[in-house]
Amino acid sequence: MSTLDLIGVSKSYGITEILTSIDISLASGEFLVLLGASGCGKSTILNIIAGLLSPTSGEIRIDGKRINEVHPKNRDIAMVFQSYALYPNLTVERNIGFGLEMRGVGKAERQAAIVKVARILKIDGLLDRKPAQLSGGQRQRVAIGRALVREPKIFLFDEPLSNLDAKLRMEMRAELKRLHRMLGTTVVYVTHDQIEAMTLATRIAVMREGQIEQIGTPEEIYNRPATAFVAEFVGAPPMNMIDATLDADGLQLEGSGQRIGLPGKRGRSRQVILGLRPEDLHIADASDELVIGATVDFAEPTGPDIIVFARHGGNPLVASLPSHLQIDPESQTRFSFSIENMHIFDRATGQRIEP
Amino acid sequence: MVPLLLVMLSVIGWPFIDTVRLSFTDARLVGAGGDFVGAANYQRIFASTAFWRAFFVTTEFAVVSVFVEVVLGVLVALLLYQNFRGRNILRALLILPWALPTVVNALLWRLIYNPEYGALNAMLVQTGLLDDYRSWLGDPNSALVALIIADAWKNFPLVALISLAALHAVPHDIKAAAVVDGANALSRFRYVILPYLVGPLMVALILRTIEAFKVFDIIWVMTRGGPANSTRTLSILVYQEAFSFQRAGSGASLALIVTLAVTMLAVAYAALIRKSAGARF
């Protein structure tokens, strides 16, 4: 159980800046997910925490102690890699125990720790196999076992589930959540999969081009995205983004010219983006005040929901509706939404605005 | 397929069959003769001290030079795998000795070993390690070692290049995992790097051993098998028997014995590779 702090951490290669002044402060037992598209610098942060890369500037602290100059093996950190990174010539048993072996832990003690971890991960029947004889899911368990057995201060996961098929990924996700509950160790987890981020994290840091766009609980990230980028990146299908002008009385949508009245008064008018999540759109009835009209292109039933693809003033509009509704192509449909589900972002800066 | 087979049979099959036939005769290179003598050639060869001496010289040459090449090759590969300024230039330079024709390399080393103006003598005398110039290739005690050094210098780049390619095949994540797991440099080499190196090294080892066992040109240019036959390998012996002494019959028998030995080596190595490939991953 340890705290982790990154203070003003930057990394650049020559003039190419990979990370720009990253500040993260994790309480003991937190599960932080670094979420972002590939190339956004999230794995670089992980490698810097592990000590495999050194930051160009800034400080890394574990339990308040600066560890910039500490060798990776002395940081008491365990890392799980996307490729599993198992030693192909060693058995599962030795793979799991390798870290202990290298640290000079006695054979009997090592053996006990390996067996204990193997039981937790349900791989105790595979201990004498080589990695090549294992399935993807089993290899992933061994890789996690190798991290668990050392009882480290901090776990680092680098896209650990992205090589698994959808069903296994869901299983392992649940397993990871269970393990984190059981062990309570601080975790930093890198992924580009927002479902993983939403389900596993106690906090998510959404990253873009070497910077943290927003850091917050999954609910904050989802319900109150700080920027248009976060709003669009998190959520599937993605949030509808409609260009609009915000003035004293409300919003005027571009394309259709439709007006949406808002309570209260504002100053000068500004260019904004109106964000509406597909699941926050409903079929409007006569009494609804906040309404947006659209022409349906087609609808995709997904089982529990029906995803409606429509056009509003030339802009695409996607709505996620209950599957019992009958939606016909080319029909004119009016979607309603509530004021608390509206997200408004400044078009120039992308920052969230409270209307 | 059929035309190809015919060509193959005529350029490889027929000479081979004719060599086998010759090896059971007392044929001479020119003139009459060529009567069937049964296994007499073979009996004489296996009873001769010259054959066994050449066999041991060949084995010593092959084992020592290949050992030096592998050790030197792996060490140089590990060095050139590190990230430093000028690495690419050094990597390019590495190929140079290997790219030299064997005869050029042999002449080069003959100059270096020259008893009157050789660079080796000059260096050793000027640094005070040696009192007087020596004839490295003229002394039966040093000639073979001198040859091995010249051969190893030419051929270690092949091993180094193969090792370097193998090193680049080691996944980055596994190396990183070993660092995080707390393995020191030696353990990382032993548990992470070496398993990836063994397979390619085996191939290099086979190639080099077979080549070294058949060695002829470098020795022919540098010592012609001398002094006092101290560097006479089997191939030199075959040449002398067949061409210097013009005994085509026993020359053919000797050549077949060398061929058989090399084939046995290749088969043994191939079995070893299969075994180690199965055991490693």
The pLDDT value recorded for residue B278 is 55
The pLDDT value recorded for residue A108 is 92
Residues of B in contact with A86 (CB under 8 A): 174
Residue B209 CB coordination number (10 Å):
22
Mutating which of A70, A75, A102, A153 best tests the B interface, going by the most B Cβ atoms within 10 A?
A102
Residue A220, amino acid: E
Contact yes or no for A83 and B176 at CB 8 A:
no
The pLDDT value recorded for residue B219 is 93
Mutating which of B172, B174, B181 best tests the A interface, going by the most A Cβ atoms within 10 A?
B181
Mutating which of A89, A101, A105, A149 best tests the B interface, going by the most B Cβ atoms within 10 A?
A89
Q: What is the rounded distance in angstroms from the CA atom of residue A19 to the CA atom of residue A209?
A: 8
The pLDDT value recorded for residue B32 is 66
Give the one of A72, A83, A87 whose C-beta lies nearest to B179's C-beta.
Answer: A72
Residues of B in contact with A77 (CB under 8 A): 180
Residues of B in contact with A90 (CB under 8 A): 191
Residue A30 CB coordination number (10 Å):
19
Fold of A240-353: OB fold (Dihydrolipoamide Acetyltransferase, E2P) (2.40.50)
End-to-end alpha carbon distance in chain B? 38
- Per residue of chain A (355 residues), give pLDDT as tens: 688 999 999 999 988 999 999 999 999 999 999 999 888 999 999 999 999 999 999 999 999 999 999 998 888 899 999 888 999 889 999 999 999 999 888 899 999 999 998 988 888 889 999 998 998 889 989 999 999 898 889 999 999 888 888 888 888 899 889 989 988 899 999 999 988 999 999 999 999 999 999 999 999 999 999 999 999 999 889 999 999 999 888 888 888 888 888 887 777 888 999 999 999 999 988 888 888 889 999 999 888 889 999 998 888 999 999 988 888 888 888 999 988 899 999 999 999 988 6
Q: What is the pLDDT of residues B185-215, one digit of tens each?
A: 889 998 889 888 888 888 888 888 888 988 9
d(CA B188, nearest CA chain A) in Å: 10
Cis geometry, peptide bond prior to residue B101 (ω within 30 degrees of 0) = no
3-state secondary structure chain A: CCCEEEEEEEEEECCEEEEEEEEEEECCCCEEEEECCCCCCHHHHHHHHHCCCCCCEEEEEECCEECCCCCHHHCCEEEECCCCCCCCCCCHHHHHHHHHHHCCCCHHHHHHHHHHHHHHCCCCCCCCCCHHHCCHHHHHHHHHHHHHCCCCCEEEEECCCCCCCHHHHHHHHHHHHHHHHHHCCEEEEEECCHHHHHHHCCEEEEEECCEEEEEECHHHHHHCCCEHHHHHHCCCCCCEEEEEEECCCEEEECCCCCEEECCCCCCCCEEEEEEECHHHCEECCCCCCCEEEEEEEEEEECCCEEEEEEEECCEEEEEEEECCCCCCCCCEEEEECCHHHEEEEECCCCEEECC
Q: Record the tokens describing residue A315, joined without a space.
A: 């802009």
Tell me whether strands A154-158 and A77-80 are parallel, antiparallel or unpaired: parallel
Give the one of B171, B183, B195 whose C-beta lies nearest to A85's C-beta.
Answer: B171
- DSSP code of residue B19: H
Query: Looking at chain A, which residue has its C-alpha nearest residue B187?
Result: A102
Contact yes or no for A102 and B174 at CB 8 A:
no
Nearest to A294 by CA among A316, A266, A264, A262: A316
d(CA B267, nearest CA chain A) in Å: 25
Contact yes or no for A85 and B176 at CB 8 A:
yes
Mutating which of A13, A48, A52, A114 best tests the B interface, going by the most B Cβ atoms within 10 A?
A52
The size of the A-B interface in CB pairs under 8 A is 68
Q: What is the rounded distance in angstroms from the CA atom of residue A6 to the CA atom of residue A21?
A: 9
d(CA A80, nearest CA chain B) in Å: 8
d(CA A89, nearest CA chain B) in Å: 5
d(CA B76, nearest CA chain A) in Å: 24
| 3-class SS of residue B25 | strand
Q: What is the rounded distance in angstroms from the CA atom of residue A240 to the CA atom of residue A277?
A: 6
For the segment(s) A4-233, the CATH number from 3.30.930.10, 3.40.50.300, 3.40.50.150, 3.40.50.720 is: 3.40.50.300
Residues of A in contact with B192 (CB under 8 A): 87
ipTM for the complex shown:
0.79
CB contact at 8 A, B143 and B230 = yes
Query: Looking at chain A, which residue has its C-alpha nearest residue B280?
Result: A89
Q: What is the rounded distance in angstroms from the CA atom of residue B247 to the CA atom of residue A321?
A: 97
CB contact at 8 A, A318 and A309 = yes
Please, which residues have CB within 8 angstroms of residue A40's CB and are 6 or more apart in sequence? A207, A208, A209, A210
The pLDDT value recorded for residue A204 is 95
Q: Record the tokens describing residue B224, joined without a space.
A: 């012609």
Q: What is the pLDDT of residues B144-174, one digit of tens each?
A: 999 999 999 999 999 999 999 999 989 989 9
Contact yes or no for B183 and A146 at CB 8 A:
no
The pLDDT value recorded for residue B59 is 92
Give the one of A52, A78, A89 whose C-beta lies nearest to B281's C-beta.
Answer: A89
CB contact at 8 A, A35 and A191 = yes
Give the one of B173, B180, B184 whose C-beta lies nearest to A83's C-beta.
Answer: B173
| Cα atoms found within 13 Å of the Cα of residue A239, Cβ hemisphere only | 27
Which part of chain A is CATH 2.40.50.140? 240-353
Residue A325's φ and ψ, nearest 5 degrees, are -75, 145
Chain A residues at the B interface, defined by Cβ less than 8 Å, are: 47, 50-52, 72-74, 77-79, 81-90, 98-99, 102-103, 130-132, 146
Residue A339, amino acid: I
Which part of chain A is CATH 3.40.50.300? 4-233
Give the one of B174, B187, B281 whose C-beta lies nearest to A130's C-beta.
Answer: B281
Nearest to B236 by CA among B51, B60, B109: B51
Query: Looking at chain B, which residue has its C-alpha nearest residue A150?
Result: B181
Residues of B in contact with A102 (CB under 8 A): 181-184, 187
Residues of B in contact with A47 (CB under 8 A): 176
Chain B residues at the A interface, defined by Cβ less than 8 Å, are: 171, 173-174, 176-184, 187, 191-192, 195, 280-281
The CA-based dihedral angle spanning residues B13, B17, B22, B24, taken in that order and rounded to the nearest 10 degrees: 160
- Show the domains of chain B with their CATH numbers: 46-280 (1.10.3720.10)
Residues of B in contact with A89 (CB under 8 A): 191, 195, 280-281
B108 exposure class (CB count in 10 Å sphere: 0-12, 13-18, 19+)? middle
Contact yes or no for B182 and A83 at CB 8 A:
no
Mean pLDDT split into 10-residue runs, chain B, 281 residues: 88 89 84 78 88 92 94 93 88 90 93 90 89 87 92 93 92 90 89 88 86 91 87 90 86 90 86 67 51
Contact yes or no for B173 and A82 at CB 8 A:
yes
Contact yes or no for B280 and A89 at CB 8 A:
yes
Tell me whether strands A31-35 and A203-208 are parallel, antiparallel or unpaired: parallel
